[in-house]
Amino acid sequence: MSGMTRGGDKRLRVQLVWATRERERLLAPNLDEWLGRLLTERCEQIGCTALAVGNSSDHVHVLLGFRPSMPIATIAQELKGPSSRALSARIARFGWQAGYYAETVGDADALVEEVRRQREHHQDSVPPESWEAYFEPGA
């Protein structure tokens, strides 16, 4: 996947991760497809491209492309807010934890399947990932 889009403008690639409040395991597998569509559509509405979306029971990953003029904080807010409201209509006491983790990505193609397979990835016994320290109590 090239960093160029129509018109030749550069697009940045970032993986955003955020977690449920207190890392509660509230995201059931039956929500995965719906949540993926919701976040993909929201990306389109704000002028980003969702390259991949995935989640496990307590966190979400969104791999996206966007114009350099868009602040990452704005993108995170625009994805977390509407998804929190939509999930709150389906899950009692739902909420996202404050903050997010953002990591720039050079080769987005290499991460697409990893992001999409988050639920499977976290069913296995895996060592903590770099982003997880940002969502520990007291962090």
pTM of the model: 0.80
Cα 44 from Cα 19, distance rounded (Å): 22
Could you tell me the domains of the chain?
9-135 (3.30.70.1290)
Buried b (16+ CB within 10 A) or exposed e, 125-134: eeeeeebeee
The single-letter code of the amino acid at 127 is P
Residues 6+ apart with CB under 8 A from 139: 133
Q: What is the mean pLDDT of the chain?
A: 85
Q: List, for residues 59-103, the tens digit of each pLDDT value.
A: 999 999 999 999 999 999 999 999 999 999 999 999 999 999 999
Burial class of residue 61, CB neighbours in 10 A (0-12, 13-18, 19+): buried
| Long-range pairs for 70-74: beta carbons < 8 A, 24 or more residues apart | 70/46, 72/14, 72/16, 72/102, 74/46
